[in-house]
Structure 1
C-alpha cells in the first residue's frame, strides 16, 4: 500500500487508510472526551510532520474550526493570535509548548493542550495518541455533526495590506472551490496516483501557511500523492530529500528557487527526478527561473500568485507556457481587475494599477475585525494591495506593492508589529521599519530609529531587544539612527519618503 506521508527526518509515516482512521478517531475524541462542539476553535501549532493532516482533518470532521499558527512564534506573538480566536483546545509539540504555556498564562486561559509526542510530556498535557489512536471509541457521535458550505472551516492568519496579523475567515465552500480550481488539466502539477505510480512531493512549505495548507497538503492528498514532510529547511537536507525520495514536483518560494539555480552546491543530478516546479508567495524574476532550468531543461517551471485572503491562489502558469516572468493566468471562474489608483476604474492591457480579485475562493471577512474587512472588500472584490498589470495574452504580472508588508522568504512581516516592539524601548522616541533588498531572503527588515533626547545606544542592543521577542524570520537586520520619521498630517508614516531619503 502506498504511503500518504512520511517524515524526511525520522522515516515515520502513515498510509492513507491509517490517516483516515486516525482523523475520524481524533474527531470523535474531540467531541466525546474534550466535549468540543460545532464551531469551537482549535489552534494547531505544529511543524510539518506526518500527524498534521490527521490533526486538521479530525478538527474539521468534529465540526470545529481549525486555526493554524506558526510553531516558531514567541509567546508574545502566540498570545496575540490566541486572544483573537478564543480557542477551546490547542494541538502542538514540545518544541512550541513553553511559548504556548506562557501565552496561556498571560491570557489567564486554561484549555486542553494536546502534544503530538508520546514520551516525556509535561504534566497536565494530553497525548495525541490517546485521542487519535483510541480505536475502540464510538465514532457514531460524528453522525450528529452537520456542516454547510457557508460554515467556517479554517482561520489562518494574515497581516492583510497593513498592520498586525488578522484571522482570515475561509469557509468550507471557499476551500473546496480553491482546490477544484487547481486540479484543472491545464494547471494540475501532480499526476494522480494509479496502481503502479505515486508522485512524490517534499512538503517543505509550512502547512500553517495557506500555500502549504491548500496546494501542498489538501490538494495533493486528493491526488494520492506521497508527501515527504520536512519540519525545517536546511540546504543540504533539502537536496538529500529530493534525491533520496526521487521528488517529482517542488512547491517552493523564491529564495529556494535562487538557491537551486545559483548555489554551486546544487548540481544537475540533484534535480534529475524533478518534472515540475511552482514558485509562489512572492514574485520571481525570469532569470532566476532560467538558472534552475539550466540544470534540468525538462522541468516545467511556473509561478503562482495568491494571498491568504484568496485561499492562496489568484493565478498560476499553465503547463509549458514558458512565460517565467508572469504569475500566470487568472484561475477559472475568477476575475481580476487592474484598478486605477485614483479613480478605481478598470485599466487596459499594459497599464499598472492595484490588483483587485473576485472569485468563489475569496475570504468572507477578517474574523471579528469589521474595520479591516471594509478596507479590503469592495462588494465582492478583494483589493490585494499589490500593483500589477496584464498583457494582450492575459498574462498577469505583479510589479510592486501598495501594502506595507515586508516579504521575508515568502513570509509576511508587518512593519507595525516590529515598530510596536521598538517603541517599548525606553531610549527610543520614534521609529519606522522598512523592507530592504536581500539576496537570500528577498527582503529583510531595517529599523530607522529616533532616540530620546540625550540618549545613546549601541545598534546591537536594539537588535537584541527586538529580535528576542519575535520569530526569527521577523528579525531586524539593520538599525539606522535618523533625526525624524516623515509622517503625514494624520500621523501616518510616509514610508516612500523614508525609502527615498535613506535607501
Structure 2
C-alpha cells in the first residue's frame, strides 16, 4: 500500500526518502528566528488532496475504512486471548449501533463527557469511536487508579456517564455517575455496551457535528513528577495526527501487515495509534488486554505479528529474555519505541539480538496528541540510535537556553518547545497550568532537555525537573540508567536524586537484579564510575523487586523519591 503523494530523495544519501521539503536547509533550522522546521513538509498536492479540516475525528476515521467490498473480509481486530475476530464491516456497524444507543436510548448529546474505565479489549475502539461519533467527549482513565484517584478524575472532567469494565464498577459507585458496563455481568441493574449494540439498529450520525476546535477528549497526563492534569484534545488535533500517522504507516508497511497492541488505549499512545489511527490504513491489530512477555511472544508466533509499537521496558524485556524458549519471532519486521526514552545501550543490544527487526524511536506527549517526531528510514534510525527522529510535517521547535531564554542552534542543549497541529487546547479547568505550559504565541514548553543535530534529528537528554544537581553539575538520570541496564545481571534500574548536605544531591540507583545475581552495591558503583565523569557516578544503591512505572512505561520517580527520603548513613 503506497502513501498518497510521491516520496523523493532529500539528496543526503541513497537511503533517505522523505517528502519534498519546502526549503533548502537540510536540518530545518532558521538561524534568524531560532526555529527548527520539519524537513518533511507536505507538498502542495498532498495538502490539496488530503484536506480533512471539515471532518471531526470519528467521521475522518470512518471515512478511511477500506471500501465496502474489502471491509467485509478485511480483519480489523483480533482478541489475542479468545481469537475473536472483527472485520471492518462489523466494526463500522458496531460503532454506529452503539452511537445510536448512546444518543437515542441514553440521551447522550454533543459536549457530554463520558468517562471510560477499562483495560484494553476488543470493544474498546468501538466505545471510543461511538462516543466521538455523536460529538460527546471521551475521557479514558487508567483502571489501576484507586477509587480516590478515579473520583478526582470524574469530578475534574464533569462526566455525565461512565463506561466501565465489570471489575472496575465499584470504583465509580461513590461518584454517583450513571454507569454502563463494557460487557454483560450478573448485575441486572446495569446494562452493557454489548446489549446496546445488539438492540440498536445503526442510524445516521447526528447532523449537528463537532467543530474542529471543539473538545474531543480529556486525557490525563502521566503525573510522573506531579499531579495528573486533564489534557484537552480537540477534533482538529486528532484529525491532524491521524493524517500524519496514516502517512507514516503507509510509508513503512503494507495492508497485509499485522500490528500488536498491548499499549493501554487509555493512554494517548495507545488511543492515537490503536484506538483510532491504524483503522485509517486498513491494517489488522491483535489486542492484548495487558502486557506480559510470554503472552506477547505467543501472540507474535500465533498471529505472525509484523509490527509492534512498544515502550522501552518491553524492548528491554526482549533483550533480556532467554532465546532458548524457542518462540518463532521471524515474522517480526519492525518495533517502534515511544512514550519514554530508549537508551543507546538497549537499542544496540536489541539490534544485535534481533538483526532482522527494524527498531525506530519516536517522540510525543499527551499534550501533543502523542506525536511530534519519527523516523521513516531505518538506516538513519540505526545510524542515530539515541535520536527520536525528525519533526513531523507541520511541527516546528525551539531549543530554549534556560539561563539566557534564547533559542539555541544545533548541538546546544535546552528545553524543547513545540508548535504544531497536535498541540493541546489547554489543561481542563486549570488556567494557571495552561499559561505556565503554553506561551501566548502558541509554543508548548515540554519540560524536556534536548538538542538537534546538524541534520534536524532530535535527541532527548532527560526531563529537566528530573536532573540531579550535584555540586553545581547537572546529572541526567537517563544516562546512568542506560549504563546500569547494560550490565547483564541487572534486569531494570532507575536513578533518582537523594538530598545531601554537602553536595546538594547525589545519584541514588534502584536496581532489580537477576534471580541468580549476587551483585553488591560496591560492584555496581564501580561498574558505573568506570564509565562516567566523577561527578556523575552513582553514590548509593538500593535493591528493589520492581521499578514502579506508569502504564506507558515511564519510571514513577516520585514514588522512588518518597522511598529514599531517609537520612544518609554515610558519605560516599
Q: TM-score, normalised by structure 1?
A: 0.78
Q: Displacement, 1:143? A: 3.2
User: For residue 112 of structure 1, what is the aligned residue in structure 2?
Assistant: 178
Residues 206-239 of structure 1, C-alpha deviations (whole Å, 9 max, x = no match): 1111111112331111111211111111111111
Could you tell me whether the CA contact under 8 Å between 1:268 and 1:295 is conserved in 2? no
User: For residue 414 of structure 2, what is the aligned residue in structure 1?
Assistant: 353
Q: Displacement, 1:444? A: 8.0
User: For residue 131 of structure 1, what is the aligned residue in structure 2?
Assistant: 196
Could you tell me whether the CA contact under 8 Å between 2:180 and 2:192 is conserved in 1? yes
The alignment status of 1:380 with 2:454, answered yes or no, reads: no
The change in CA–CA distance for 1:268 and 1:249 in structure 2 (over 3 A counts) is farther
Could you tell me whether the CA contact under 8 Å between 2:466 and 2:496 is conserved in 1? no
User: For residue 424 of structure 1, what is the aligned residue in structure 2?
Assistant: none
User: For residue 397 of structure 1, what is the aligned residue in structure 2?
Assistant: 459
Q: Which runs of 4+ in 1 moved over 6 A?
A: 444-448, 470-473
User: For residue 167 of structure 1, what is the aligned residue in structure 2?
Assistant: 230
User: For residue 153 of structure 2, what is the aligned residue in structure 1?
Assistant: 81
CA distance in 2, matches of 1:210, 1:283: 16
2:230 alignment partner, SS class: strand
1:294 alignment partner, SS class: helix
Residues 433-464 of structure 1, C-alpha deviations (whole Å, 9 max, x = no match): x999585555488999xxxxxxxxxxxxxxxx
Could you tell me whether the CA contact under 8 Å between 1:349 and 1:389 is conserved in 2? yes
Higher RCO (C-alpha 8 Å, min separation 6): 2
CA distance in 2, matches of 1:268, 1:381: 49
CA distance in 1, matches of 2:247, 2:103: 36
The alignment status of 1:99 with 2:171, answered yes or no, reads: yes
Q: Displacement, 1:135? A: 3.6
User: For residue 124 of structure 2, what is the aligned residue in structure 1?
Assistant: 52
2:455 alignment partner, SS class: coil
Could you tell me whether the CA contact under 8 Å between 1:161 and 1:405 is conserved in 2? no
Q: Displacement, 1:95? A: 2.3
Give the alignment partner of residue 296 of structure 1, picking from 354, 358, 367: 354
Residues 87-113 of structure 1, C-alpha deviations (whole Å, 9 max, x = no match): 011111122122222xxx1xxx43321
CA distance in 1, matches of 2:258, 2:492: 26
User: For residue 333 of structure 1, what is the aligned residue in structure 2?
Assistant: 394
Give the alignment partner of residue 157 of structure 1, picking from 220, 224, 236: 220
User: For residue 286 of structure 1, what is the aligned residue in structure 2?
Assistant: 344
CA distance in 1, matches of 2:338, 2:457: 16
Structure 2 alignment gaps of length 5 or more = 1-72, 469-476, 486-490, 500-546
Q: TM-score, normalised by structure 2?
A: 0.69
The alignment status of 1:7 with 2:79, answered yes or no, reads: yes
CA distance in 2, matches of 1:358, 1:41: 27
CA distance in 1, matches of 2:354, 2:222: 37
Q: Displacement, 1:43? A: 0.9
The change in CA–CA distance for 1:441 and 1:131 in structure 2 (over 3 A counts) is farther
CA distance in 2, matches of 1:215, 1:266: 32
Could you tell me whether the CA contact under 8 Å between 1:334 and 1:360 is conserved in 2? yes
Give the alignment partner of residue 211 of structure 2, picking from 140, 148, 152: 148
Q: Displacement, 1:376? A: 0.6
Could you tell me whether the CA contact under 8 Å between 2:115 and 2:159 is conserved in 1? yes
The alignment status of 1:207 with 2:265, answered yes or no, reads: yes
The change in CA–CA distance for 1:266 and 1:45 in structure 2 (over 3 A counts) is farther
1:347 alignment partner, SS class: coil
CA distance in 1, matches of 2:224, 2:375: 25
Q: Displacement, 1:286? A: 2.2
Q: Displacement, 1:150? A: 1.1
CA distance in 2, matches of 1:447, 1:132: 54
Could you tell me whether the CA contact under 8 Å between 1:187 and 1:317 is conserved in 2? no
The alignment status of 1:190 with 2:274, answered yes or no, reads: no
User: For residue 244 of structure 1, what is the aligned residue in structure 2?
Assistant: 302
Could you tell me whether the CA contact under 8 Å between 1:155 and 1:169 is conserved in 2? yes
The change in CA–CA distance for 1:279 and 1:480 in structure 2 (over 3 A counts) is closer
The alignment status of 1:217 with 2:278, answered yes or no, reads: no
User: For residue 464 of structure 1, what is the aligned residue in structure 2?
Assistant: none
Q: Displacement, 1:328? A: 0.6
2:76 alignment partner, SS class: strand
Q: Displacement, 1:79? A: 1.1
Structure 1 alignment gaps of length 5 or more = 407-433, 449-466, 485-500
Q: Displacement, 1:26? A: 0.9
The change in CA–CA distance for 1:88 and 1:481 in structure 2 (over 3 A counts) is closer
Give the alignment partner of residue 363 of structure 1, picking from 410, 424, 446: 424
2:246 alignment partner, SS class: coil
Q: Displacement, 1:271? A: 2.8
1:183 alignment partner, SS class: helix
- How many residues in Structure 1 have an aligned counterpart in Structure 2? 428
Q: Displacement, 1:272? A: 1.0
CA distance in 1, matches of 2:321, 2:306: 21
1:31-42 equivalences under 5 Å are 31-42=103-114
The change in CA–CA distance for 1:227 and 1:38 in structure 2 (over 3 A counts) is same
CA distance in 2, matches of 1:223, 1:235: 27
